[in-house]
Amino acid sequence: MNDYMITVVLSSGRKNSNSSGMANRLAAAAVKAGGAIERYDLAKMDFKGCTGCGSCRSTTDSCVIRDDLSPLLASLKRADAVVLASPNYYGYVSGTFKSFLDRWYSLRDAERNLRLPSGRPLAFLMAQGHPDPAGYKNTIDSMTTIFTAYGFDTKTVIGAGLQGPGELAEREELISDLDALGEELSSNLRKNQ
């Protein structure tokens, strides 16, 4: 039985992506005992960045751009939990991920009230070549600030020292951290049923 739904967003364009592998691993652990995943792979989707038209904060209650992000933005509103994954590109999230994030502007109304429920868990997963997990603290802080502003209770896992595709498979400790976070998410979601 699907007691809850987790929206998973991937944003790497390459095969055997480390960040996508991290998200898929965590999400699989989170739905092992029930629950459903709605998975969106941004690299395979056709969408625009925010144009800053402001309609979503004045005349409409959602983004006026109708493209492949429309069902994803709707999925974010229904989800019980959210898993977001990005490779680290030049010290920040991928451009694809950032374009997705800019469209979150439509998730607040004219009075800046949220169009999303508050207090839901969000896991942010980043894969990076840099071996130090604290190497991009400003980026993690910046992402957490945005997710918190949209009502999410954020946990971050950094896959540090992952350079080539598929390297996640060699990282037992990281994989077990992802499994543990997925199981914790599952048990919290079950408690709230």
Ligand X SMILES: Cc1cc2nc3c(=O)[nH]c(=O)nc-3n(C[C@H](O)[C@H](O)[C@H](O)COP(=O)(O)O)c2cc1C
Nearer to ligand X, 126 or 181 (CB): 126
Q: Of residues 4, 7, 9, 12, which one binds ligand X by CB under 6 A?
A: 12
Task: Please list the helix, strand and coil fractions of the chain in percent, rounded to the nearest 5, in that order.
Answer: 40, 20, 40
Nearer to ligand X, 116 or 174 (CB): 174
Task: Give 158's contacts (C-beta < 8 A, 6+ positions apart).
Answer: 125, 126, 128, 133, 136, 140
Task: Give 28's contacts (C-beta < 8 A, 6+ positions apart).
Answer: 182
139 binds ligand X (CB under 6 A): no
**Sheet strands (E) in the chain:** 5-10, 36-41, 81-87, 120-127, 152-159
Q: Of residues 7, 20, 75, 106, which one binds ligand X by CB under 6 A?
A: 20
Q: Of residues 165, 177, 184, 188, which one binds ligand X by CB under 6 A?
A: 165
Helix 18-30 with 172-191: angle, nearest 10 deg: 40
192 binds ligand X (CB under 6 A): no
Q: Is the dihedral of CA 182, 185, 187, 193 positive or negative?
A: negative
Nearer to ligand X, 157 or 189 (CB): 157
Rounded Cα distance, 124 and 82, in Å: 8
Q: Which one-letter amino acid corresponds to residue 111?
A: E
**Taking CB under 6 A as the rule, which mask of x and - marks residues 76-95 in contact with ligand X?**
-----------xxxxx----
24 binds ligand X (CB under 6 A): no
96 binds ligand X (CB under 6 A): no
Q: Of residues 6, 7, 18, 27, which one binds ligand X by CB under 6 A?
A: 18
71 binds ligand X (CB under 6 A): no
Rounded Cα distance, 160 and 61, in Å: 39
Q: Of residues 59, 138, 148, 163, which one binds ligand X by CB under 6 A?
A: 163
Q: Of residues 4, 9, 19, 42, which one binds ligand X by CB under 6 A?
A: 19
Minimum CB–partner distance for residue 54 and ligand X (Å) = 31
Q: Please work out the total of residues on this chain that contact ligand X, with binding judged by CB under 6 A.
A: 18
Q: Which two tokens stand for residue 171?
A: 């990282």
At 8, give phi and psi (nearest 5°).
-115, 130
Q: Which two tokens stand for residue 114?
A: 């949220």
Interface residues with ligand X (CB under 6 A) are 12, 14, 17-20, 87-91, 127-130, 162-163, 165
